[in-house]
Amino acid sequence: MTPIIQASNLQKSYSGQRVVDGLNLSIHKGECFGLLGPNGAGKTTTLRMLLGLISPDAGEISLLNLPVPQAAREARIRVGVVPQMDNLDPDFTVAENLLVYGRYFGLKDSEIEARIPSLLEFASLTNKRNAKVPTLSGGMKRRLTLARALVNDPDVLFLDEPTTGLDPQARHLIWQRLRELTQQGKTLLLTTHFMDEAERLCHRLAVLDNGKLISQGTPRELIEQNIEPQVVEVFGETAEAWANINAAHYSQRFELSGETVFCYLHDAQPLVAHLQTQNSLRYLHRPANLEDVFLKLTGREMRE
């Protein structure tokens, strides 16, 4: 089966700086695929190239079996996009936003009007049908943006940080809707900073850093391949001094970040037993998660 989205050896530079560097991706029908990476890793640039909005310097893209950017316009007829920044029409009501956007796909007014009730229901906005956009909460705006991206009943959805800036309730509602969409057989490509989002939603993930794909697989594979299975976080004022003497003895690998020591290990029992004797230290023992993988692969220093 040919992938719905395929990119091979994508390259893009801006004023001499490589933003995307030799990227290969293939995403299959019905998959929810996550692109992870720190700010500036090249996630948004990759999405924009896959949509045909900017041309790669080198490499090949096919989207829904059409070559991009050559046939990007035709491909976008069957694609929906949830952008990173809100770009709803502030002058319009909720329903007008859907109507006006549907027209851009060449849909007849009657077709769009027929779809609006189910789109509003999907976005839990039925009673906001005639509300103006500026009166909506952040979560409602996001849901309207998602409904708008579905107005053409697309096969593929691109979502650029779909839950950034939302409170936990709003985020959970978006997650639930995105899961429904994958159950309907739609293909989702999303970027995110939230590791719990990636772990819960995505079938497969790719970690990008400096425009390069540095790891790829299911969330479980990424954890198994990249990191020790157990983590013990040790914190307290004396944690650093403690770590310099003891951490290497008990753990395969450790990192100091602020007042916290992260110990990565295969068997946590000896360390936990030792820590129980240390009154000045507190600790947390947990299984390794995607955030540990992400920090290991992309480093702990800030990217700005």
Partner 1 sequence: MSIRDFALPELSMRFFPIWQRHWLVWKKVAAASIMGHLADPVIYMLGLGYGLGSLLPQMGGTSYMTFLAAGTVCYSTMNSASFEALYSGFSRMHEQRTWEAILNTPITLDDIVLSEILWAATKSLMSGIAVLVVIWLLGLSHSVMSLWMIPLALLVGLAFAGLGLIMTALAPSYDFFLYYFTLVITPMMMISGVFFPVNQLPESVQMVSNVLPLTHAIDLARPLMTGAVPPAALLHIAVLLAYTLFGFYVSLVLFRRRLSR
In the list 105, 122, 175, 235, the residue contacting partner 1 (rule: CB under 8 A) is 105
SS3 299: coil
Considering the complex, what minimum distance in angstroms separates the CB of residue 89 from partner 1? 7
Considering the complex, what minimum distance in angstroms separates the CB of residue 79 from partner 1? 8
Distance from the Cα of residue 283 to its chain's centroid: 30
What are the structure tokens assigned to 97, written together?
């936003």
66 binds partner 1 (CB under 8 A): no
Q: Is 58 left (phi over 0), alpha (psi -120 to 50) or beta?
A: beta
In the list 11, 18, 30, 54, the residue contacting partner 1 (rule: CB under 8 A) is 54
Q: Return the H-helix or E-strand segment holding 113.
A: helix 109-122
CB 63 within 8 A of CB 26: no
In the list 3, 11, 66, 100, the residue contacting partner 1 (rule: CB under 8 A) is 100
* Gap between the Cα atoms of 264 and 196, Å rounded: 19
Nearer to partner 1 (CB atom), residue 83 or residue 236: 83
Cis (ω within 30 of 0) for the bond into 69?
yes
In the list 39, 58, 77, 167, the residue contacting partner 1 (rule: CB under 8 A) is 77
Identity of residue 74: E
Nearer to partner 1 (CB atom), residue 54 or residue 256: 54
Nearer to partner 1 (CB atom), residue 87 or residue 118: 87
Q: Which positions touch partner 1 (CB under 8 A)?
A: 14, 51, 53-55, 73-74, 76-77, 79, 81, 83, 85-92, 96, 100-101, 103-106, 152
